[in-house]
Amino acid sequence: MPPPPPDSLFPRPTNLGDQTHGHLRELILSRQIPGGAEVPEGRLAERLNVSRTPMREALVRLVGEGLLERTSERSYRVRIVSAREFFECMQMRELLECHAIGTAVPQIGDADLAELRRGLDSLEDGEDDMQHWLYDNHFHSFFARVSGNETLADTITRMRVVARLFRISSAFHRKREIDAEHRAVLEAAERRDAAAAKAAMLAHLRNLQDDARRAIAVEANPGGYFL
Ligand SMILES: [Zn+2]
Q: How far is the CA of 209 from the centre of ligand 1 (A)?
A: 12
Distance, in Å, from the CA atom of 13 to the CA atom of 6, rounded to the nearest integer, reads: 13
- Give yes or no for residue 170 having a pLDDT over 60: no
What is the CA(49)–ligand 1 centre distance, in A?
35
Query: What is residue 46's predicted lDDT score, i.e. its pLDDT?
Result: 87
C-alpha 4 to ligand 1 mean position (Å)? 22
Confidence (pLDDT) at 4: 45
Same domain flag for 92 and 139 = yes
Residue 121 Cα to ligand 1 midpoint, Å, equals 14
Q: What is the pTM of this model?
A: 0.82
Instruction: Tell me, in angstroms, the distance from the centre of ligand 1 to residue 133's CA.
Output: 8
Distance 183 CA to ligand 1 centre (A): 10
Determine, yes or no, domain membership for 118.
yes
- Give the distance (Å) from ligand 1 centre to CA of residue 17: 30
The alpha-helical segments, DSSP class H, found in 30-82 are: 41-47, 52-64
Domain membership flag for residue 227: no
Res 225: pLDDT = 59
| Whether residues 215 and 104 fall in one domain | yes
Å from CA of 48 to ligand 1 middle: 31
pLDDT in tens, 46-103: 888 888 888 999 999 999 998 999 998 888 999 999 999 999 999 999 999 999 999 9
1 band by pLDDT with thresholds 50, 70 and 90 = very low
Same domain, 128 and 193: yes
* pLDDT number for residue 7: 46
> Residues 44, 138: one domain?
no
Distance between Cα 71 and ligand 1 center (Å): 33
How many angstroms separate the alpha carbon of residue 178 from the centre of ligand 1? 6
Domain that holds residue 20: 16-78
- φ, ψ for residue 108, nearest 5 deg: -70, 135
For residue 69, which phi and psi values (nearest 5 degrees)?
-130, 150
Report CA(44)–ligand 1 centroid distance (Å): 32
Distance 100 CA to ligand 1 centre (A): 14
Spatial distance between the Cα atoms of 49 and 70, rounded to a whole number of angstroms: 21
Same domain, 60 and 143: no
Cα separation, 132 vs 124, in Å, equals 9
Question: For residue 29, what are the β-bridge partners?
Answer: none
3-class DSSP state of 78: strand
- Does 15 or 168 have the greater pLDDT score? 15
C-beta separation of 66 from 79 below 8 A:
yes
- In three-state secondary structure terms, 168 is coil
Question: Distance, CA 204 to ligand 1 centroid (Å)?
Answer: 7
Give the DSSP H/E element, type plus range, for residue 76. strand 75-78
Question: Do both 116 and 63 map to the same domain?
Answer: no
Would you say residue 10 has pLDDT above 60? Answer: no
Question: Domain ends where: 78, 112, 131?
Answer: 78
pLDDT of residue 176: 84
Domain assignment of residue 1, yes or no: no
Averaged confidence pLDDT in the chain = 86
**pLDDT tier for residue 124 given thresholds of 50, 70 and 90:** confident
- The number of folded domains in the chain is 2
Helix ranges, the chain (H): 16-29, 41-47, 52-64, 83-104, 110-122, 129-146, 150-165, 175-190, 194-220
Position 192 scores a pLDDT of 96
Q: Is the pLDDT of residue 6 over 50?
A: no
